[in-house]
């Protein structure tokens, strides 16, 4: 039986891991390669590196980072942030990333998902969706792009379904309302999306307590739970999380 | 020296990194003379099947000939799927035909892709799993799987709502649907076992 995954997310800015609240007020959390290696040794199932600067200058830095991580870390890792072309995806996969996540570029050019899936297979194309609760329509979420700074007209559930059809193999679903709050995942959002698609959904944003992880899997229907703050600032170890979830009957790779 | 076949698909470097980490000499190459002189060959692959087959091009025939002559070959993920007859991924596309079977979609009753760590039952008589316990988690990321029909192949299975072949062995032809280079310490042991098989073959 397939295990549920614990995924640690490392937001990278100027070659350092940082973490904020609601995507703002960033705090330094360490060296990306060292942290990546530490989480891998501690039993993380997967890592995600997000280049949150995503400028042309940072592009080269992130490729170098991917190469360094790949030399030291032997679990799968995903890279995202400002990826806009098949050429960039190719470079990152060849540098050692297992998967890439695309966000803004896929909203602007949905064909990118199809082109990338046909070339690399859909298993390595992750659609990252940053969703914010609609203020006017309850039970709906609005897709935002450009690191959460720009709202779009897209409905998050509808966009998830479309992205799957276009070629995405996994959804990294971040609740902007919950991000960095440690108050729990948005499981209404997780449930709405995971019920609507047949590809795996990674719940992201809001992890603070062990119970939150359980709820995202059981109530939210998530295949994986992603977290940053609670591991970077050592609230819980990955082993504690896995043992807790296993004790509550969730299949884990312990 | 092991040769990791370099044919312009993803993850070739990860496989080399993993071999280097365990102290095994492995070189990335697409030169026929390197491939012929190798102690063993590794065919990795993160790509769609059709793209991978066309990227491999004329090397396919050489690899097939050497594998049939007894040079150990390890296919990983799409590299493993290419060992079989045919795949329907954006296809049909012909594979190397070294092991009988076809590559078909994972039933849509399951979440597809099959993504993450799944428990594989490791048969005692499969060389790749020497010194490992009888079951272990390995990392999978795929939407298609090989429906193995070869009576001469040994098969290790994982449970994904059905018995999904996770690894095969036919003579000195090996393959893993999972990624040993991304499966932590146990995955590295699988690669170490393959490098030992290649050394034994020379000795």
Q: Which positions ≥6 away from B96 have C-beta within 8 Å?
A: B60, B63, B64, B67, B82, B83, B84
Domain covering A5-247: architecture:
Alpha-Beta Barrel (3.20)
Phi–psi pair at B179, nearest 5 degrees = -100, 100
Are B137 and A3 in contact by the 8 Å Cβ rule? The answer is: yes
Distance CA B97, CA B149 (A): 12
Phi–psi pair at B6, nearest 5 degrees = -100, 105
Q: Which of A2, A96, A118 sits opposite B114 (nearest CB)?
A: A2
Print burial letters for A171-192: b (CB count within 10 Å at least 16), e (below 16): bbbbbbbbbbebebbbbebbbb
Q: In Å, how far is A101's CA from the nearest CA of chain B?
A: 15
Across B147-167, average pLDDT:
98
Most confident segment among A82-91, A135-144, A162-171, B49-58: A162-171
**Residue labelled with tokens 């312990």:** A254
The top-level CATH class assigned to B2-202 is alpha beta
Q: What percent of chain A clears pLDDT 70, i.e. is strictly above it?
A: 96
Residue B203 is predicted with a pLDDT of 44
Q: For chain B, say whether A1 makes contact (Cβ under 8 Å).
A: yes
Is the pLDDT at A210 greater than 80, yes or no?
Answer: yes
Question: Residue B11 in 3-state DSSP?
Answer: coil
DSSP character at residue B38: -
Please report which confidence band the pLDDT of residue B50 belongs to, taking 50, 70 and 90 as the band edges: confident
Distance CA A89, CA A147 (A): 19
**Catalytic residue (choose from B93, B114, B142, B179):** B179
Higher-confidence position of B36 and A139: B36
Across B59-88, average pLDDT:
96
Q: For chain B, say whether A19 makes contact (Cβ under 8 Å).
A: no
Q: Which of A89, A101, A121 to mutate to test the interface with B (most CBs of B within 10 A)?
A: A121
Across B110-118, average pLDDT:
95
Q: Where are the domains of chain A?
A: 5-247
Distance CA B153, CA B170 (A): 5
Residue A23 is predicted with a pLDDT of 66
Q: Which of A45, A97, A199 sits opposite B116 (nearest CB)?
A: A45
Are A254 and A242 in contact by the 8 Å Cβ rule? The answer is: yes
Residue A216 is predicted with a pLDDT of 98
Are B148 and B101 in contact by the 8 Å Cβ rule? The answer is: yes
Measured in whole angstroms, the distance separating CA B143 from the mean position of its chain's CA atoms is 15
pLDDT per residue over B11-21, tens digit each? Answer: 788 999 999 99
Q: For chain A, say whether B160 makes contact (Cβ under 8 Å).
A: yes
Q: What percent of chain A clears pLDDT 90, i.e. is strictly above it?
A: 74
The residues of A carrying an active-site annotation are 11, 130
What ranges make up the beta strands (E) of chain A?
Answer: 5-13, 16-21, 24-30, 46-51, 77-80, 99-102, 125-133, 141-145, 150-155, 170-175, 201-204, 224-227
Cβ under 8 Å to B: A residues 26-45: 40, 45
Give me the interface pTM, i.e. the ipTM. 0.90
Single out the residue of B103, B128, B125, B106 nearest to residue B40, CA to CA.
B128
Q: For chain B, say whether A199 makes contact (Cβ under 8 Å).
A: yes
Please report which confidence band the pLDDT of residue B170 belongs to, taking 50, 70 and 90 as the band edges: very high
Q: Where are the domains of chain B?
A: 2-202
Please report which confidence band the pLDDT of residue B4 belongs to, taking 50, 70 and 90 as the band edges: very high
Are B41 and B74 in contact by the 8 Å Cβ rule? The answer is: yes
Q: Which of A95, A119, A223 sits opposite B13 (nearest CB)?
A: A95
pLDDT per residue over A29-85, tens digit each? Answer: 889 999 999 999 999 999 999 998 866 666 778 899 999 999 999 999 999 998 999
Say yes or no for a CB contact (<8 Å) between A96 and B47: no
Residue B81 is predicted with a pLDDT of 97
User: What is the pLDDT of chain B when averaged over all its residues?
Assistant: 94
């Amino acid at each position: 039986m397939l295990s549920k995954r614990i995924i640690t997310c490392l937001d990278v800015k100027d070659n350092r891991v940082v973490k904020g609240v609601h995507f703002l007020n960033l705090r330094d959390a360490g060296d990306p390669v060292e942290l990546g290696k530490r989480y891998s040794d501690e039993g993380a199932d997967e890592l995600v590196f997000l280049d949150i600067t995503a400028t042309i200058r940072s592009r080269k830095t992130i490729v170098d980072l991917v190469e360094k991580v790949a030399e030291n870390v032997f679990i799968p890792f995903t890279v995202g942030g400002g990826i806009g072309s098949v050429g960039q995806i190719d470079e990152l996969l060849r540098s050692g990333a297992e998967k890439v996540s695309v966000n803004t570029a896929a909203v602007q050019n949905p064909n990118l998902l199809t082109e990338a899936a046909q070339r690399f297979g859909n298993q390595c194309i992750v659609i990252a969706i940053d969703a914010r609760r609609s203020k006017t329509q309850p039970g709906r979420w609005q897709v935002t792009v450009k690191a959460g700074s720009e709202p779009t007209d897209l409905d998050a559930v509808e966009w998830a379904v479309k992205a799957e059809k276009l070629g995405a193999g996994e959804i990294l679903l971040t609740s902007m309302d919950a991000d960095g709050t440690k108050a729990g995942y948005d499981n209404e959002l997780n449930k709405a999306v995971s019920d609507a698609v047949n590809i795996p959904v990674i719940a992201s944003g809001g992890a603070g307590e062990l119970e939150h992880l359980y709820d995202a899997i059981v109530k939210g229907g998530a295949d994986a739970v992603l977290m940053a703050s609670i591991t970077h600032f050592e609230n819980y170890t990955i082993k504690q999380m896995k043992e807790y979830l296993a004790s509550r009957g969730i299949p884990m790779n312990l | 020296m092991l040769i990791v076949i370099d044919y312009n698909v993803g993850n070739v470097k990860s496989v080399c990194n993993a071999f280097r980490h365990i102290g095994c000499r492995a070189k990335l190459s697409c030169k026929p003379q390197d491939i012929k002189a190798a102690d063993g060959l590794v065919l990795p692959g993160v790509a769609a099947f059709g793209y991978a087959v066309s990227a491999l091009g004329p090397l396919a025939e050489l690899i097939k000939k050497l594998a049939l002559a007894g040079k150990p070959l390890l296919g990983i993920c799409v590299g493993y799927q290419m060992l079989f007859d045919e795949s329907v991924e954006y296809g049909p596309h012909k594979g190397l035909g070294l092991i009988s079977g076809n590559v078909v979609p994972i039933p849509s009753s399951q979440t597809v892709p099959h993504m993450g760590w799944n428990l594989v039952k490791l048969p005692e008589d499969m060389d790749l799993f020497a010194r490992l316990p009888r079951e272990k988690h390995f990392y999978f990321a795929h939407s298609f799987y090989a429906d193995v029909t070869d009576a001469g192949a040994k098969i290790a299975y994982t449970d994904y709502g059905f018995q999904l072949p996770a690894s095969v062995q036919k003579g000195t032809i090996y393959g893993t649907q999972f990624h040993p280079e991304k499966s932590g310490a146990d995955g590295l042991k699988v690669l170490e076992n393959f490098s030992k098989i290649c050394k034994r073959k020379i000795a």
